[in-house]
Amino acid sequence: MKASTGESLGISRIGQVAVPVSDVARAEAFYRDVLGLKHLFTADGKLAFFDCGGTRLMLAPPENGQELKRGSILYFLVPEIAAAFGRLEAQGAKIVHPPHLIAKMPDHDLWMGFFDDSEGNTLALMAEVRA
């Protein structure tokens, strides 16, 4: 690998994140109805796309018969984490770890809580609570 010369590829933001799923229709319902993300489109019933604050989220099964592997944890920023977890629980989401204080920062407290989506992927909500 060549050492960095300080030149940039021009990357400005994440454009899309893929979340591995075994059942696209079931996952689509979870992300639309439970998480309330804006559904953009579904392609041939095999891929579902959502908007998450300008980042496109793609739900897709593994390609070419590969084994389903769980993805990275997505941390969704919310203004009121306790209320958001209450809504998740009411919608039947599996809570892995309820909201808890992670760190006291100079200008806010960082809170996180974890839950599973319909496909067993662990997701998180996070909130930056100002004093």
Question: Is residue 1, in this structure, part of any structural domain at all?
Answer: no
What per-residue confidence (pLDDT) applies to 6?
59
Same domain membership, residue 38 and residue 92: no
Give the separation between CA 128 and CA 78, rounded to whole angstroms.
8
Specify whether 99 is located in the same domain as 55: no
Predicted local confidence at residue 4, as pLDDT: 54
Same domain flag for 81 and 57? no
- Please indicate, yes or no, whether residues 127 and 108 belong to a single structural domain of this protein: yes
Query: Please, which residues have CB within 8 angstroms of residue 102's CB and are 6 or more apart in sequence?
Result: 110, 111, 112
Is residue 67 one of the residues assigned to a domain?
A: no
CATH of the domain at 95: 3.10.180.10
Whole-number pLDDT of residue 9: 58
Examine the domain organization and report whether 51 and 85 are in the same domain: no
- Position 124 in a domain: yes
Domain count across the chain: 2
pLDDT at 3 (0 to 100): 53
Query: What is the identity of the amino acid at 13?
Result: R
Q: Which pLDDT value is given to residue 5?
A: 58
pLDDT at position 64:
72
List the beta strands (DSSP E) in 31-130: 38-43, 47-52, 55-60, 75-77, 94-104, 109-116, 122-129
pLDDT at 1 (0 to 100): 52
Q: Which domain, by its residues, includes 45?
A: 15-62
The residue ranges of the chain whose pLDDT is under 70 are 1-7, 9
Does residue 122 sit in helix, strand or coil? Answer: strand
